[in-house]
Structure 1
């Protein structure tokens, strides 16, 4: 892993009789209204084994689908397919005027951003948001990635490394503002888990006494799940009466924050800025005061740390713009045409698509 080299800115008896009758009717055939809705979205195959299911299994299948927001899922699937195989002229390199490279920064700028960041942290304006919903299946474990001993001499887990970095920044902010305030600095840590990692993550933090942090400065919340789909956009069934599901990705953080009322919680705490990162970034500078100060100074809505792509075939996603002056996006290495991946900017000497997502 490499450290970032630049920064990019940018949801009664009668009753018993009726219930029995409804179940009996359901046993005969799938609920017609639900089946028609599934046909509208090309998902009617999910009821293919209806005649082979028991009465209880049929009820589970219907309940499973009634819990799904079918229109929203259809939009997600269609959007995903539209983003694949984009024509060459659909993406542009990130504009140089919104990139600040480490080597081009002056000592004065770095010191100014450092102080701005520390003051904002001291004033309680920064929260840290950790994306930690995934399991370490590719590493041969079903445990949350943050629980792993990644082979350091200290034996520290990713969660411990990140907690200690938060405590370090708290001390730095307190020392920086000690002449004007003797208050204790606390950075609130929001940790997004998933139904597959939530319980284990909470127990891990409790067992390790929150790695020195106060228990009430750590908030856990769960991201949602969405159906797994095949290459042709059809739901995959875990069993004949249950849809296979997976965490809804890092993008699920927005809906999860809204549904768990944590946006209101942040506002009540006076949080103005959020430092968001992924759990498996072992080199992450959590609550980096310089990055925060840079962000505040530029007055932008969002910024991202990036690493200069090492060579054209390096397997990293890169930041792009969707069309001239369009929104920033990340295109994965598997989706970027080889000719674009190897193209060079003749002015800078760098690859045209060189800013990779950490």
Structure 2
């Protein structure tokens, strides 16, 4: 391949990369550089130059220390770590008067352009049997809406509600976090569909970060080719450094955004930039907020919002003892004390992200020991190890909770706000089938509440009130007293 880069620029980049990696004890990554020519060499050097190799050692040390402290606590050797139920106020969407007050406050924030939506969409549809970004998956409602389209149209509807109509729509910027694997396809999909009615200037894409895989022990960068480093995504907590490095946080500040709502693509009932949730957090003067779904049983396999050493956190279900998992609160109708199930639906102030989260990200990585294929120079091929040989550093989106000084928690109704699309069609739980049923049942509920008289059709009944028709059950007054035959699509 011809070299299209001036030799002096290539040489300068090589010297800089060599100096940085040798100073960090990772000079071996350049041992195969002579096998590359021209643009291939330049691309590899640029990839190496983009890695903050100087920080790898401290990230690994911090993660190993965190793991050791956790293991000591499990063994009863640490008295400093204490897990207790979340002690802050937990409101519920079933409190209609409170939610109306919160919705009013949230709508005002949306109207003034102070609210942004951040969509975690780096996953592939592999478990769904779909070859592509999960957001491009069509659940089979009949309307052809994909998960991406649902989110975009709900934002479009919300903007119109807040602004007073289609001609006065409020701006609700949408930031989509992709992965290196699906970034290009996701961008193209939105562009080919005219951003589903949203202004293209209000839709921004940024890719989740990756980190080199490290040897265990030793902490050396693993190679998966003679001149190729093994890399892995840095976990969904990588959303924070990715927003910073990509300029998303700066763009939010430029736009006047003050409140950020982050959520995952695989919830078919998600309410992006939810004014009730945002308003609740605003009225509570919260710097961080979390929507939760109370567990249906003590041993449901979901992490819960709790406190560790008096600070808010998420405790994985496997880290709760049986006694803790089964604790009930007699003052709350006997419901579980450790019951606030985490559903990856979060609120932050922009100030919290910029002033608390970003400066402290270095202490939030965890060790994941894995079998990582590596390059065998003698054999001249990539080999798969029989046992764990390396470390992937990853962080979780909820790792920032302990930084919060004023956390707000909102308990939501499963039937109204949570329909996961994770498992293959035909699965009993969290599948397209269960999500379709949830969306259909919610649509029928909204119509009945609006005063419509529903007449059932034959066979499987799928009913859909489209996002452009209603964001959360509003705007259906025209159907009051009218007969509507199921299935329907409005």
- Normalising by structure 2, we get a TM-score of 0.57
Verify: 1:37 aligned to 2:16, yes or no.
Answer: no
Change (3 A) 1:73 1:142: farther
The 8 Å contact of residues 94 and 353 in structure 1, kept in 2 or not, is answered as yes
Q: Structure 2: any 5+ residue segments left out of the alignment?
A: 1-5, 344-490
The 8 Å contact of residues 35 and 227 in structure 2, kept in 1 or not, is answered as no
Verify: 1:271 aligned to 2:286, yes or no.
Answer: no
Distance 1:302 1:278 in 2: 17
Structure 2 counterparts to residues 1-358 of structure 1, below 5 A? 34=21, 37-38=24-25, 53=32, 55-56=34-35, 67-84=50-67, 85-86=70-71, 87=73, 90-103=81-94, 105=95, 107-141=96-130, 143-175=132-164, 183-229=168-214, 235-323=221-309, 325-326=310-311, 328-334=312-318, 336-339=319-322, 342-347=325-330, 348=332, 349-358=334-343
The 8 Å contact of residues 117 and 293 in structure 1, kept in 2 or not, is answered as yes
Change (3 A) 1:171 1:66: closer
Task: Please say which of residues 115-124 and 262-271 is displaced more in the overlay.
Answer: 262-271
Measured after TM superposition, the shift of residue 255 of structure 1 is 1.8
The 8 Å contact of residues 221 and 229 in structure 2, kept in 1 or not, is answered as yes
Residue of structure 2 in register with 1:5 after alignment: none
Distance 1:111 1:192 in 2: 31
Distance 1:137 1:219 in 2: 25
Q: Deviations over 1:163-210 (max 9, x none)?
A: 1111121122123xx8xxx84312111112222211100110111111
Distance 2:203 2:101 in 1: 29
Distance 2:177 2:92 in 1: 30
Distance 2:142 2:162 in 1: 29
Change (3 A) 1:220 1:113: same
Change (3 A) 1:201 1:34: closer
- Residue aligned with 1:162, SS: helix
- Residue aligned with 2:252, SS: helix
Distance 1:150 1:79 in 2: 42
Distance 2:62 2:132 in 1: 31
Higher relative contact order, chain-length normalized (CA < 8 Å, sep 6+): 1
Distance 1:139 1:244 in 2: 27
Measured after TM superposition, the shift of residue 345 of structure 1 is 3.2
The 8 Å contact of residues 160 and 168 in structure 2, kept in 1 or not, is answered as no
The 8 Å contact of residues 24 and 54 in structure 2, kept in 1 or not, is answered as no
Distance 1:121 1:318 in 2: 29
Residue of structure 1 in register with 2:346 after alignment: none
Q: Structure 1: any 5+ residue segments left out of the alignment?
A: 1-14, 24-30
Cα-Cα RMSD = 3.5
Q: Deviations over 1:291-310 (max 9, x none)?
A: 11111100110101011122
Measured after TM superposition, the shift of residue 338 of structure 1 is 4.0
How many residue pairs get matched?
A: 319
Task: Please say which of residues 62-71 and 117-126 is displaced more in the overlay.
Answer: 62-71
Distance 1:194 1:226 in 2: 13
Measured after TM superposition, the shift of residue 218 of structure 1 is 0.8
Measured after TM superposition, the shift of residue 113 of structure 1 is 0.9
Distance 2:216 2:317 in 1: 18
- Normalising by structure 1, we get a TM-score of 0.76
The 8 Å contact of residues 313 and 341 in structure 1, kept in 2 or not, is answered as no
